[in-house]
Structure 1
Amino acid sequence: MKPTEPTSPLDALWQAPVIAWAMLAGEGVAAVLALAPGTSDNRWVAFGLISLVVQWVALGTLGGLYAGRRWLARLRPTYVAYLALAMLLLASWLICGLGWLLLGELWPTTTQEAQRMFLRISGITLTVGLMGLAAFQNHWRTRQMAVRAKQAELEALQARIRPHFLFNTLNTAAALVHQRPDATERLLLDLADLFRAALGGPAEVALADELALTRHYLEIESLRFGDRLRVNWRLPENLPPIPIPTLSIQPLVENAIRHGVEPTASGGEITIEVAITAGTVNVIVTNPLPGSGPLNGSGHHVGLSSARARVLAMTRGLGRLETAIADGHYTATITLPMPH
């Protein structure tokens, strides 16, 4: 279900942007060398020959690194850098050798000229290779730092949600412990299941497991609200085996209860629906608006922001979480791409 996305620096080498930039950089090197002093009078011919060599060297090196990326991924980054330089030199020597054989009179013919050309190409290859590796490592390091920063932000958001829910649940348990000890025991067991998933569970779970956790949460809240809380489940007979971020539906349901059930003396009904469309799975949580009108500015923006960010991160931008107000109801929809 996940799109092609580099998980290591080597995976990015054969993507269109990298290839395009490598070719543009190669043309720039060819242009500089063609304009350099000592080049033959016909600089267009020189540019064409140098461009041919540079492009084949660049593409050959990228292709070789990408073809061996699974094996190279086991090596330390320093060793991969040295190996990339060695492959760049090897590709330049190989292309120059083929050019000498195939281009005939257009290539240096004497041994002395060939040696000078060999040394010149080796020096240029090393210089350009070192510059390219430095630029690529800086780019990858910046990208990894951005990913780590985003992950830290998501963890901070989740940490801010848990205490709020914990305090509400413990208050409910304290109110019921003497009057309904059996219900209190069930509440604490459901709470343990939820926090086991939040604190020690995986970042992603199957949709069926996430809905089961949501049921545990609703069982807890039903002890608080009693008949005021009514839940309408609309699920297909067979849920698709699709992953979803852990505890991403629960904040939506908590939001629905807080704004659609709690403000009204008679309570309200929330609807949890799973709808399968062409290529997507939609999890829809709907609650009625309170009698005073649209939702105010307070609420579970932290929970929604965390769930939205985790859906985007898990689906690499293909999924989304959207909210809308229509016909007196507030709707939150998680859209996930179907696995291929």
Structure 2
Amino acid sequence: MSNDHEPSTGFLPNFCLDSTLLLVVVMAELLAVVLSLSSWPLAPFWRSLALTSLFVQWVALSSVGLLCRLRRPLSSVRPVSAALIAYLVVLLVTLLFSILTAAFLDWYVHPNAIDLHRDLAFVLRNALVSAIMAAVALRYLYLQHAWKRGVEARLDARLHALQARIRPHFLFNSMNTIAALIRGRPDDAEQAVEDLSCMFRSALRDGEWTRLGDEIELARHYLALECLRLGERLDVAWRLDIDTRDEDLPVPALSLQPLVENAVYHGIQAIPAGGCVSIAIARTRDRLRIAVTNPRPAADRQGTHTGQGMALENIRERLELGYRGANMEIRAEPDRFHVELSLPLETTDARTDRR
């Protein structure tokens, strides 16, 4: 078995993965327990469980082995055809082992009492159980696949909605800031136009993943525009414990900028005296950590802005559903608000080819 990424066929899993093998073994053993309980107390439970487990596991492992060998041919046909082939493989393997088992029992256990009707009933019973279980398993895989596709579609829609949300919000605020700077501070106005252009270029880039360097650049352009609008009320402290090579690490698109926007909009802007937004990005041996901290307004000002937490929940849901081992920690202290993203490097590295 292998952990390598292999071609997938519709809703069928990759039968060459260790995780898939483990799941099949566990499910097969549960089936053996159920079948043994159904024959108890007519037959000793533990003896029945041992024999049933031996038979069921041989069928399960042989079926998985064949489907693993057939993964490339199956990837070239339609999902419905692949599912039908997988169904037939399980049935044929069950019939083969049932016939071999019946022949072995006739030859070794009761050679003088061969009963073809008993053998036929044994084979048909196993085939029927296998047909039902395979159909249930395929139905489950289909429903799981449909649910996952629905989740991915919703997340993709949220990502596009988040991108679209940036456009009018920054367009109006930034254009007003630029208009106010044109006469008195033309150089700052020109720089603001460049920041706005670069920010929209980064924000409107397609894809679920982006480079860490591009995400940092997007946040810098956003903060530059907000510094022009808020003036001395906004202070920014960057702490980047990474090198130039780490800037090529893939990260979820729009993971840093919405955190920074939340910090400014729900923290700094709600405080008359302003404050400092701290952004820390560090790479440890096996993880990439992105932390954003901002001051919290007084309790009577915290409900001023609607929509607080939407970006955080969007990022949290994307991490939980799409990126194994990634997590987001939120700490709300009386005077500070802290959000930290933690991405395993093996997850980000695995996405490099998808950028």
Superposition TM-score, scaled by structure 2 size: 0.75
Output the CA distance in 2 between the equivalents of 1:27 and 1:172.
Answer: 71
Contact residue 295 and residue 337 of structure 2 kept, 8 A: yes
Is 1:170 the counterpart of 2:175 in the alignment? yes
Q: 2:75: which partner in 1?
A: 73
Alignment partner of 1:308 out of 304, 316, 330: 316
Give the number of aligned pairs. 329
- Evaluate the alpha carbon distance shift between residue 258 and residue 117 of structure 1 in structure 2; reply closer, same or farther with a 3 A threshold: same
Output the CA distance in 1 between the equivalents of 2:265 and 2:304.
Answer: 11
Matched ranges for 1:112-191 at <5 A: 113=115, 116=117, 119-120=120-121, 123-158=124-159, 159=161, 161-162=165-166, 163-177=168-182, 179-180=184-185, 182-191=187-196
Q: 2:31: which partner in 1?
A: 25
Alignment partner of 2:85 out of 55, 66, 83: 83
Deviation track 1:308-328 (CA, whole Å, cap 9, x = no partner) reads: 222333423x22222223473
Output the CA distance in 2 between the equivalents of 1:97 and 1:192.
Answer: 72
Is 1:223 the counterpart of 2:223 in the alignment? no
**1:260: Cα distance to partner?**
3.6
Task: State the secondary structure of the residue aligned to 1:287.
Answer: strand
Deviates more, 1:234-243 or 1:178-187: 178-187
Output the CA distance in 1 between the equivalents of 2:327 and 2:53.
Answer: 45
Contact residue 192 and residue 225 of structure 2 kept, 8 A: yes
**1:264: Cα distance to partner?**
4.1
Deviation track 1:204-247 (CA, whole Å, cap 9, x = no partner) reads: 11222211211121122122123332211111241635322111
Output the CA distance in 1 between the equivalents of 2:275 and 2:216.
Answer: 20
Output the CA distance in 2 between the equivalents of 1:137 and 1:91.
Answer: 16
Deviates more, 1:72-81 or 1:258-267: 258-267
Output the CA distance in 2 between the equivalents of 1:89 and 1:108.
Answer: 27
Report the AA paired with residue 213 of structure 2.
Answer: A
Report the AA paired with residue 74 of structure 1.
Answer: S
Contact residue 10 and residue 73 of structure 1 kept, 8 A: no
Output the CA distance in 2 between the equivalents of 1:90 and 1:107.
Answer: 26
Output the CA distance in 2 between the equivalents of 1:93 and 1:138.
Answer: 22
Q: 2:328: which partner in 1?
A: 321
Contact residue 89 and residue 122 of structure 1 kept, 8 A: no
Is 1:105 the counterpart of 2:108 in the alignment? yes
Is 1:10 the counterpart of 2:18 in the alignment? no
Q: 2:209: which partner in 1?
A: 204
Contact residue 240 and residue 280 of structure 2 kept, 8 A: yes
Alignment partner of 2:243 out of 238, 253, 277: 238
Task: State the secondary structure of the residue aligned to 1:133.
Answer: helix
Report the AA paired with residue 214 of structure 2.
Answer: D
Output the CA distance in 2 between the equivalents of 1:203 and 1:9.
Answer: 24
Output the CA distance in 1 between the equivalents of 2:87 and 2:147.
Answer: 27
Output the CA distance in 1 between the equivalents of 2:226 and 2:112.
Answer: 87
Output the CA distance in 1 between the equivalents of 2:66 and 2:183.
Answer: 71
Output the CA distance in 1 between the equivalents of 2:95 and 2:128.
Answer: 15
* Structure 2: gaps spanning 5 or more residues: 348-355
* Structure 1: gaps spanning 5 or more residues: 36-40
Task: State the secondary structure of the residue aligned to 2:144.
Answer: helix
Alignment partner of 1:251 out of 242, 246, 258: 258
Q: 2:353: which partner in 1?
A: none
Task: State the secondary structure of the residue aligned to 1:9.
Answer: coil
Report the AA paired with residue 147 of structure 1.
Answer: K
Contact residue 157 and residue 303 of structure 1 kept, 8 A: no
Output the CA distance in 2 between the equivalents of 1:95 and 1:196.
Answer: 61
- Evaluate the alpha carbon distance shift between residue 127 and residue 295 of structure 1 in structure 2; reply closer, same or farther with a 3 A threshold: farther
**1:49: Cα distance to partner?**
5.3
Output the CA distance in 2 between the equivalents of 1:87 and 1:121.
Answer: 19
Output the CA distance in 1 between the equivalents of 2:134 and 2:199.
Answer: 46
Report the AA paired with residue 150 of structure 1.
Answer: V
Contact residue 322 and residue 333 of structure 1 kept, 8 A: yes
Q: Percent identity?
A: 32
**1:178: Cα distance to partner?**
5.0
**1:283: Cα distance to partner?**
1.0
Alignment partner of 2:292 out of 285, 301, 304: 285
Output the CA distance in 2 between the equivalents of 1:86 and 1:142.
Answer: 20
Report the AA paired with residue 249 of structure 2.
Answer: I
Output the CA distance in 2 between the equivalents of 1:50 and 1:321.
Answer: 45
Greater length-normalized contact order (CA 8 Å, ≥ 6 residues apart): 1
**1:108: Cα distance to partner?**
6.3
